[in-house]
Amino acid sequence: MKIEKRKLETLKPYANNAKEHPEWQIEQIKESIKRFGFNDPIAIDEQGNIIEGHGRYLASIQLELKEVDCIVLGHLTELEKKAYIIAHNKLTMNTGFDLSILEEELSNLKENKIDLVITGFSEYELETLLSSNELELDEVLSDDEKSKQEEKRCPHCGGIL
């Protein structure tokens, strides 16, 4: 797999991308890029159409980046591109965290003066996670986050939609 630099202005978002990217998430991505660098290339096809990385693309625009790292996926058919766009977004949502390991890692970062907000967890989630390591994920989520999760769960399998 080869990583190429591409001018941001040449990339084209997929109009039917079903993954939502609210402004608060774009802000998180921007902070991550500023803190850690642009470590996750945007996947595109040969014509510069974005296959995955729409959130990073939007954050890059706001950061006024001129070029970004991209991976060209030239081996996919048009239908496979559509399927992969959905699969890439959904597969990352299919699992949770091992909360005891997560608590240990977050505690270590906190002890070493790392600002934990950069991890993407809300202040409430961090406070709850660091107060006990015997929590279920739904116990960690705020009421608003719980309702969002419940609204988007499959009634048959319980998977997040």
Q: How many CB atoms lie within 10 A of CB 104?
A: 12
Does the structure show a pLDDT above 70 at 159? no
**Buried/exposed 66-87: b ≥16 CB within 10 Å, e otherwise:** eebbbbbbeeeeeeebeebbee
The strand order across the sheet containing 3-7 reads 3-7, 67-72, 42-44, 50-52
Does the structure show a pLDDT above 60 at 148? no
Position 29 scores a pLDDT of: 97
Does the structure show a pLDDT above 60 at 150? no
What is the overall mean pLDDT for the chain? 87
Q: What residue segments make up the domains of the chain, in order of their start?
A: 3-91, 99-151
Position 158 scores a pLDDT of: 47
Position 12 scores a pLDDT of: 98
Does the structure show a pLDDT above 70 at 5? yes
Give residue-wise pLDDT tens across range 70-90: 999 999 999 999 999 999 999
Position 152 scores a pLDDT of: 52
Does the structure show a pLDDT above 80 at 151? no
Q: Which residues contact 69 (CB under 8 A, 6 or more apart)?
A: 3, 4, 5, 6, 38, 41, 42
Position 91 scores a pLDDT of: 94
Architecture of domain 3-91: Alpha-Beta Complex (3.90)
Does the structure show a pLDDT above 60 at 142? no
pTM value?
A: 0.78
Question: In Å, how far are 9, 18, 66, 144 from 61, measured between CA atoms?
Answer: 9, 20, 8, 29
Give residue-wise pLDDT tens across range 11-33: 999 999 999 999 999 999 999 99
